[in-house]
Amino acid sequence: MKKIRLLISMACIGVSTLIATAHDFTATIDGQKIYFNITSKARQTAEVTYKGSIADVRIPETEGILEIPAKVKHGKVVYSVTKIGPKAFSGATELTGVILPSSVKEIGDFAFEGCTALSKVIFPSGDVKMGQGTFFKCSALKDLSFGSDWETLNLAPYRWSDSLHIVNIPAKVEKVMNLKSIASLREVNVDANNAKFSAYKGALYNKDYTILYGVPRSYKGTLKIKEGTTDITQGALIDCPDITLIDIPASLQVLSFRETSRMSDLEEIVFRGETPLTTAYNNGQACFLLQVANPSVKINVPKDAKKEYAKQLVVTPGEYTESAQTGSIPYMVEAASLPQAKNIKGLKNFNDYD
């Protein structure tokens, strides 16, 4: 029994020791103390961590712009810094910028949560794995610099920012995720050497501009869709309340009726095509339906096509789908969100919109 009690006591001492401190060593970089954990002695790797214990994380004293070192020496060993650990800089309200080295491959859960003054992050050259809530409540983020070798860009980790208005997509990015997650985003730019994506007037397209992938949620004013665009992907225009006018080229073939449903400031839609688009389906039948937040929206079309647009415009509320396929989700469209044929105006030309 005494032996068992001794083992339990030793185990408790061990746990207490682990809880007492979260770091293995510290290093002072440009006058600022950074805490590190050794993640692998064999590979000589370390992660940046927090001061204190997991039960009592101390607010970091870090301030200003901090450049994380690629390597750090402890004793006689030089460690590569490969990760920013969970909660490493949680609550560092004086931290304004972070420069991450190319050695960092991962940022842990809530690593920068509550860094309310953090406005600039320079990421390493290659992709970085992000944990949950990495930049939780980082409302001041406005300048993100992604490395030239990034291939996947997920914008969800930055959704708490109120200040992020522009995102620049590097040349090697092949996948962009969660463009709509950032409510403050106004503009997307794409490196000219990117083989998959392009940008036109702040919106994201495929390389040859035939597909419009997404429009930032805080896009303002006139949205002019590039001539030659044939498809607008479902959800590309959704949740853009500040758009006041949409200019749709004659080349467009695919558009969902739901795209304009939440544009509270929308005043005009310009259709340059001679034939109304199929935007919805009712019991499998194709139809020209526009669901809008403002039913008095003006609809401008070619003069010779005005009668056909007025004839085909759906003004009857009911259930409609975005696809003719069996099993497509039906959406209820109310009368209050349907513009009327009287809203349609025929134009001799579109000079005022060019």
Read off the pLDDT of residues 130-151 as tens digits, 9 standing for 90 and up: 999 999 999 999 999 999 999 9
116 and 87 Cβ atoms separated by less than 8 Å: no
Closest to 125 in 3D by CA, of 104, 97, 102: 102
337 and 318 Cβ atoms separated by less than 8 Å: no
Sign, CA torsion 252/254/256/262: negative
Cα–Cα–Cα angle for 317, 321, 325, rounded to 5 degrees: 145
Q: By CB neighbour count within 10 A (0-12 exposed, 13-18 middle, 19+ buried), where does 329 fall? A: exposed
89 vs 86: CA distance, rounded Å:
8
202 vs 155: CA distance, rounded Å:
16
pLDDT for residue 327: 84
pLDDT for residue 21: 54
Strands 280-282 and 285-287: antiparallel
pLDDT for residue 59: 73
257 and 320 Cβ atoms separated by less than 8 Å: yes
pLDDT for residue 289: 98
pTM above 0.85, yes or no: yes
187 and 246 Cβ atoms separated by less than 8 Å: no
pLDDT for residue 299: 99
